[in-house]
Chain A
Amino acid sequence: MMQFLQNLGASTRTSFTKLGRATYFLIQTLAGIFSILIRPRLLMNQMFSVGVLSFLIITISGLFVGMVLGLQGFYILSDFGAEESLGIMVAASLVRELGPVVTALLFAGRAGSALTAEIGLMKATEQLSGMEMMAIDPIRRIITPRFLAGFLSMPLLAALFSAVGIIGGQLIGTGLLGVDDGAYWAQMQTQLDFYDDIINGVIKSVIFGFVTSWIALFEGYDAIPTSEGVSRATTRTVVNSAFSILGLDFILTALMFGDN
């Protein structure tokens, strides 16, 4: 019994310590933002590896998610004779929920894990301490550009995901299943509001981008500098990102769409 209580206390303390370290790390990262203005090259390189290289997986997944929504939505809606509402169903679910959430999950898997592994290996091979020896702040030089790149790429990727998904839904709905093309777009345009739906979706993806990049970079920076430690840190990045994204999504949805 005593042993159990001791373990419980110890693990609680460890997690709080880790959260504290993560917060300190975040503050240091944010403090480095101004140095990006002097060296925009660093940001450009990271935008390439974080954003551009995620482009393909995001657009292809978006297309398929939209097409599946078109198919499933059509079968359910046609039971009620409401096939014309397919457009609003596909668009609302993509713009409000699936766009930001699925993009963030894919982003955590594609870019987040790569960031953790990269930083963790830099730490394991003592590149980070090497930089410190040369009086270069590794946080400013390595972490901040990656953080900003993730933070900026996420909303763009989520918007692309939703846009491609809506086109995918239209391909299936109007091309294959015979929903009227005009009804598909018109229902969408009358029902979706720019501020309530689209801006809220963008806010969601900005928050997810922030959290995912933070988790990925911190796990890499905090990894035990061995090959096993790096592998564990990468796993933790994906798991923790998924948890945070889904949990935050619930809270954000309750806040944004609660009163209507």
Chain B
Amino acid sequence: MQHTATQDTLVGLFVASGIAGLFFLALQVSNLSSFGDKDTYTVTASFESSGGLKVKSAVSAAGVKIGKVTDIRFDPKTYQSVVSMAIESQYNTLPEDTTASIFTAGLLGEQYVNLEPGGSEAVLKNGGKIDLTQSAIILEKVIGQFLFKSAEEKAQGDKKE
């Protein structure tokens, strides 16, 4: 086989495109790119229960993703779950009395933190704490309460008769 410059160029192009493919997979397809690609600030919020919330779950406001959960810890003093969230720096106008709630996307979807801005003039700073929180809704608990309530009503109804 002839050794030509064209052949070398083609081999070079082939190797380069293969490596480009790998880079594409690493950066565009997997979560590798989410390391420090944007400026963020951290706020924390304590929940009675964080339910099925996970690290990397979305943090959104008005339905738009503005950050993600970076850490979930159990606080042994208050017996609460402390959730740290990294919020993109461009959204730095969230008021201090923002309410954080844990919602579920769809009936069986992933859980995420929803932030609902309040009316305060002061804004949340890096390291700030959200005081108003609403825990995750745990389906078993809701069903349990419902069953208990309906049984109670039935018992009361029986007494009256």
Contacts and interface: CB of A to CB of B under 8 A. Distances in A.
Contact of B14 (A41, A52, A164, A190): A52
Contacts of A128: none
Interface string B81-119: 000000000000000000000000010000000000000
Given A47-B14, A52-B11, A194 B22 contact: no
Nearest to B3: A41
Contacts of B22: 155-156, 159, 202
Interface in B20-75: 20-22, 24-26, 28-34, 56, 58, 65
B10 A48 contact: yes
Interface in A123-170: 153, 155-157, 159-160, 162-164, 166
B8 interface: yes
Contacts of B30: 188-189, 192-194, 197-198
B14 A55 contact: yes
Nearest to A59: B17
A162 B31 contact: no
A157 B17 CA distance: 9
Nearest to A62: B21
B18 A159 contact: yes
Nearest to A87: B29
A190 B57 CA distance: 8
Interface in A47-62: 47-49, 51-52, 55
B29 A91 contact: yes
A185 B21 CA distance: 16
Interface string A188-217: 111011100110001000000000000000
Contacts of A198: 25-26, 29-30
Contacts of A160: 17-18, 21
Given A48-B10, A156-B14, A190 B21 contact: no
B19 interface: yes
Contacts of B8: 44
B11 A163 contact: no
Interface residues of A, number: 33
* Most chain B Cβ neighbours within 10 Å, of A159, A166, A185, A186: A159
Interface of A: 41, 44-45, 47-49, 51-52, 55, 81, 91, 95, 153, 155-157, 159-160, 162-164, 166, 185-186, 188-190, 192-194, 197-198, 202
Which 6 pairs from chain A and chain B are nearest by CB? A156-B18, A159-B21, A163-B21, A160-B21, A194-B30, A194-B32
Interface of B: 1, 3, 7-8, 10-11, 13-15, 17-22, 24-26, 28-34, 56, 58, 65, 106
Given A163-B29, A189-B28, 13 more contacts: A41-B3, A44-B8, A45-B7, A95-B25, A153-B18, A155-B18, A155-B22, A156-B14, A156-B15, A159-B21, A159-B22, A163-B24, A193-B30
